[in-house]
Amino acid sequence: MSETVAVAQRVPPLVLIHGPESILIERALSQVAADLRLAQPEIEISRLSGVAYDAGTLPMEASPSLFGEARALIIRDADEGSEAFQTDLLAVLPDASEDLVLVVVHKGGARGKKIVDALKSAKARVIDTPAIKTDRDKQDFTTNEFRRAGRKATPDAVRALIEALGSDVAELASACQQLISDTTGLIDEQVVMTYHGGKVEATGFRVADAAIAGDAAEALRLLRHAIATGLDPVPIVAVLASQLRQLVKVGAAGRGRSADLARDLGMAPWQIDRARRALSGWSGDALGHCIQAVAAADFEVKGGGRDPVYAVERAILTIAAEHGR
């Protein structure tokens, strides 16, 4: 992500955008296009794709133009290209120059690996666009979103945002954009809650926190309130499961710095610290029992039982009762 900062760079003849995360790919492409235009306002940018590629198109596009103006070719989906596409692309790579910039997007995977290798050994600039999967990735992404816009967000705000919207990166990105454009000043947890606190995941986290702390009454109150306002129990169960899972992982990982653990477990450092605090009063066996109760509840919620709400309540009671055992 380090390459996506909004400082114009001189674009080398070969650029490889490598990785599957579409939101980062789009960012990288618009950054490269902007940089190209800044350096050479007259540059002609054309686009083609490895999908449904007609053999011979690339050499034709790459051949010198009549008036010798500078051109850039953005080639998407190199990982989806046919043999003919790969052969053509490898053949035109040596033609890249200041006047013919080739920007290749490869979303990863084994197909078209030759292209990636060739670009790397030809000293292409590599912009990595890795999948945003773990909460740690999401934290980096979110923090960077605010930083790019010159805004500051507190760690609690970032956490609340990921809890509420983290299941979908595109949604997370647009929530960041919304906060950037609709608010001013420091973005703290209160601001996030005002905008996104009603999301069912956010409720799920409050229910889970109370249950795991052993506070059955509070957990049940929050759950009933959520159900009464029409929220679906399914995502609440999912949050219960994910929170218990994190506790087991952090508990099993033993001592060590939060930052190191965060990297190993794909969690955000604050999640490690919070899990460690919550872990007092918990044994591995008790957590195991809780996960089994949540799995049973999920099955009942999905139609295996008569009363889904009762199933979730029972799981919550089990969790609260296992605390401190």
Partner 1 sequence: MSVWREVVGQEPALAILTKAVADPAALTHAWLFTGPPGSGRSVAARAFAGALLCPQGGCGECRECRTAVDGTHADVDIVATEGLSIKVDQARDLVQLAARRPSVGRWRIIIVEDADRLTEHSGNGLLKAIEEPTARTIWVLCAPSVEDVLITLRSRSRQVRLRTPPVEAVAALLVERDGIDPAMARYAARAAQSHVGVARRLARDEGARIRRRQVITMPMRISGVGDAIGAASDLMAIAEEEKEGALTERNTAEKERLLATLGADPAARTQPPHIRSQLAALEKEQKTRATRFTRDVVDRTLVDLLSAYRDALVLRTQAPVALVNEDTMDTVSGLARAFGADGLLRAMTAIGTARERIAANVPPLLALEAMAISLRVPR
The C-alpha atoms of residue 20 and residue 108 are separated, in whole angstroms, by 6
Q: Judged by CB under 8 A, which of 18, 71, 76, 159 binds partner 1?
A: 76
| Residue 63 main-chain phi, psi, to 5 deg | -70, 150
Classified as helix, coil or strand, 130 is coil
Pair 119, 104: CB distance under 8 Å: yes
Q: Does 251 bind partner 1 (CB under 8 A)?
A: yes
Judged by beta carbon, residue 63 or residue 283, the one nearer partner 1 is 283
Mark the segment that binds partner 1 (CB under 8 A) among 10-18, 46-54, 192-200, 314-322: 46-54
Judged by beta carbon, residue 20 or residue 197, the one nearer partner 1 is 20
The C-alpha atoms of residue 292 and residue 271 are separated, in whole angstroms, by 22
H-run or E-run covering 170: helix 169-182
Classified as helix, coil or strand, 9 is coil
Q: Does 49 bind partner 1 (CB under 8 A)?
A: yes
Judged by beta carbon, residue 12 or residue 251, the one nearer partner 1 is 251
Q: Does 44 bind partner 1 (CB under 8 A)?
A: no
Q: What's the closest the beta carbon of residue 186 comes to partner 1, in angstroms?
A: 35
Pair 16, 114: CB distance under 8 Å: no
Site track for partner 1 across 178-207, x = CB under 8 A: ------------------------------
DSSP 8-state secondary structure symbol assigned to residue 187: B
Q: Judged by CB under 8 A, which of 77, 88, 135, 313 binds partner 1?
A: 77
Q: Does 299 bind partner 1 (CB under 8 A)?
A: yes
The C-alpha atoms of residue 33 and residue 31 are separated, in whole angstroms, by 5
Site track for partner 1 across 272-291, x = CB under 8 A: ------------xx-xx--x
Across the strands, what pairs with 47? 74
Q: What's the closest the beta carbon of residue 51 comes to partner 1, in angstroms?
A: 4
Judged by beta carbon, residue 30 or residue 229, the one nearer partner 1 is 30
Q: Does 296 bind partner 1 (CB under 8 A)?
A: yes
Classified as helix, coil or strand, 72 is strand
Across the strands, what pairs with 45? 72
The C-alpha atoms of residue 240 and residue 298 are separated, in whole angstroms, by 10
Site residues (CB under 8 A) for partner 1, limited to 97-116:
109, 111
Q: One-letter amino acid identity for 246?
A: Q
Judged by beta carbon, residue 172 or residue 241, the one nearer partner 1 is 241
Q: Judged by CB under 8 A, which of 5, 6, 8, 51 binds partner 1?
A: 51
Exposure of 143 by Cβ count < 10 A (0-12 exposed, 13-18 middle, 19+ buried)? middle
Q: Judged by CB under 8 A, which of 294, 311, 315, 319 binds partner 1?
A: 294
Closest residue by Cα to residue 27 from 46, 52, 58, 2: 2
What is the token pair recorded at 143? Answer: 């923090």
Pair 203, 263: CB distance under 8 Å: no
Q: What's the closest the beta carbon of residue 131 comes to partner 1, in angstroms?
A: 12
Binding site for partner 1 (CB under 8 A): 46-49, 51-53, 74-77, 80, 109, 111, 238, 241, 245, 248-249, 251-253, 284-285, 287-288, 291-292, 294-296, 298-299, 302-304
